[in-house]
Structures are given as C-alpha cells and as structure tokens.
Homo-oligomer: A and B are copies of this chain.
C-alpha cells in the first residue's frame, strides 16, 4: 500500500534470522516476544509465522506454537540428493542454450574464487561458490526451476556445509571442478559436464558422512 507493510518488515527480518541460523533450529517462536523485539504488533508476527509456515521454514507444535524447522543428518543427505537432481537438470537445460557471455560470467566467478582463496578470503570464496551454482541454475533459462531452487533454501545448506570443510585441498578441488564444468559447457559436452558435477556432489556427500 503506502511503502511497505509492517508485517512484511517483520517477515523479512525474521526470515533472515532463521535462514542465517541466528535463531537456532528447534527454537520456539513466541509471538509476543518477537512483536516487542521487532517493534510491531503481535498480529504482524503471526502473519509472518503463517507465511513462513507456508514456506516450510517453521512448523507448528502439536499443542500450538511455532518452531523453527530443524534438520537431522538424513534430512541433509536428502537435501543434497535433491540439490544434485535440480542442478544436473539445470545443467542439461543450460548446455543447449548457454551463450558466450554466460560462459564468460561463469569463468569470471571461477577467477574470483581462485583469487579469494589465494588471498585467504575463505568466506568470500564460499560466497563465490554459492554464486557459481546459483548462476548455473539461472542459466537453465527455467524461471520455475530457479525459483524452486532459491525457495527450497538449498543455497543456505550449501553455505552451512561448505563453511565446515574448509581445508586448502577442498578449495583447490572445488575450483578445478567448477572450471571443468564450465569448460565442458563451453564445448557442449553434456556427458562430461554431468560426470564432473556428479563427482562434485559425491565429494560433498562424503564430507557429511565424516561428521
């Protein structure tokens, strides 16, 4: 209506806090508490919570009350599988229609990644990693697929995972694999691109198992 509703402000605030794990999984979200904390009415918070409920970011307890969704190891494994399905699918779509400009954009991200690792900016490198995968999804040219990827909060888990395993070797391997994928796309070699991508993911799967 006029600028932006208070409920919407509360929504973006709370959502950010949940996705960045500032509010830990399993936490109960009390309406009054967040109403005063965010400086909005309880109803605005309630609206936020039901919206997040629709986004599967929170669940309601058996006896009422909203709780931040939490994920166990099996959940994480399934999300990783899901991510592989979506990204391989996107790869297949992208390889037919990708332009030189787009290849260049991916190469730029790879370059940024390398540079940041070399200079010790590991959080920045993670960001570039994330961006690489998101960009690939975007280049599928399928808006619905892209939105699904974004809305499924997969990028978040990606971040959580990659920030755990931050050995030098990992970064180097990740870099190589990213570049291999881009090269395969450039050469229109779908089979190779898919093969490398699957390796890329199976490496991630092993990381989880180690924990």
A-side residues, CB < 8 A to B, are: 1, 7, 43, 46-48, 50-56, 63-64, 75, 78-79, 81-82, 84-86, 88-90, 92-93, 142-145, 147-148, 151-152
CB distance from A210 to the nearest CB of B (A): 21
The interface residues of chain B lying within 8 Å CB-to-CB of A53 are: 51, 54
User: Do A82 and B145 have beta carbons less than 8 Å apart?
Assistant: yes
15 cross-chain CB contacts under 8 A: A7-B50, A48-B50, A50-B51, A51-B51, A52-B54, A53-B54, A78-B142, A78-B144, A81-B142, A82-B142, A82-B145, A84-B89, A85-B86, A85-B90, A86-B89
Interchain CA distance A193-B90 in the complex, whole Å: 20
Measured CB to CB, the closest approach of chain B to A11, in angstroms, equals 9
Of the listed residues A82, A142, A152, the one surrounded by the most CB atoms of chain B closer than 10 A to its CB is: A82
Q: What residues of chain B lie closer than 8 Å to A86, measured between beta carbons?
A: 85, 89
Which single member of B48, B55, B152 contacts A148 (CB below 8 Å)? B152
